[in-house]
Amino acid sequence: MVSGDLLREARLRAGLTQAELAQRAGTARSQVSRYERAEVLPSLETLRRLIRSCGLDLSFRLFNADLEEHDATLIAQLLPLTPEERVERAVRAIKHVYLA
C-alpha cells in the first residue's frame, strides 16, 4: 500500500523508530506499525499528521526524489529539530525575506 510505504520512508528519513513517531504524533506505536504494514489505511489527514511529525510534508517524496548535496545537508541540519522548531525556523526565514 502506498500510504504504508510513504509513512515508513518518512519515518526512516527522520531517523525515528515507530515508538518515537507515535509519541510525536500522539498515537500508539502499534497503530503506526499497522499503518506501515497496510493492515489499516489511515485517513489522508492522519497520514499528513504522521508525516508532519517526521518533519516532512506529504509531498516530500516528489520534491526530494533526486537529492542534491545541498538538500542532504539541509535535511541533516533539520532532523535534530522538533517540528515546532522547524516551523519557527521557517517563519524566521520568511520574515527575513519579506522584511529585509
In order of their start, the domains of the chain are: 2-99 (1.10.260.40)
pLDDT band at 89 (very low <50, low <70, confident <90, very high): confident
Evaluate whether 51 touches 6 at the Cβ level (below 8 Å).
yes
Cα 91 to chain centroid, rounded: 18
> What confidence tens digit (pLDDT) does each residue in 26-81 have?
999 999 999 999 999 998 889 889 998 998 877 665 454 454 555 667 777 778 88
37-51: b or e for each residue (b if 16 or more CB lie within 10 Å)? eeeeebeeebbeebb
